Amino acid sequence: MLEIGDQAPSFALQNQHGNTVTLEDFEGEHLIVYFYPRANTEGCTVQACSFRDARPTLEAANVSVVGVSDDPVSDLASFAEEYDLTFDLLSDEDGAVASAYDSYGEKQMFGNTFDGVFRNTYVVGPDGNIVAVFEGVSPDGHAEDVLAALE
């Protein structure tokens, strides 16, 4: 895992609208970078909606959010539309960015082994360094946990 004080790995990924979003786009503000396994699944929906619902508080604190998964852009677009997600969902289909954030690797489910995204969250400070780390998070109430750490 990356640690507090580490430089956040740079990224340039397409969002749900097909636009490229970079870490540098958020220079000078706090950025929550959360990794989630799959759009439109129960836990990922709960997690995304918790960040959506926290938007007024996040905006007041000048904190932005991006969600990163290995879903294709088209899946992210339908997910964002269905749940009125107004922050960027980023497509990392090859898992390169998730790997750079120690959030991608071998997983097991129902007796099958596969590569996938781990549910981790990092808060990047205005200077581009990691200021908070959440590993293996529970989707329910996660946005509140992140907000509490920012206070």
Pairing of strands 130-134, 20-22: unpaired
DSSP code of residue 24: G
The rounded Cα 35 to chain-centroid distance in angstroms is 4
Of the candidates 23, 44, 68, 146, the residue annotated as catalytic is 44
Q: Please check whether residue 90 is in contact with residue 72, taking contact to mean a CB–CB distance below 8 angstroms.
A: no
49 is catalytic: no
Written as one string, the DSSP assignment of 26-93 is GTTSEEEEEE-S-TTSHHHHHHHHHHHHTHHHHHHTTEEEEEEES--HHHHHHHHHHHT--SEEEE-T
Spatial separation of the C-alpha atoms in residues 129 and 76, rounded to whole Å: 27
Query: So which residues are the catalytic ones?
Result: 44
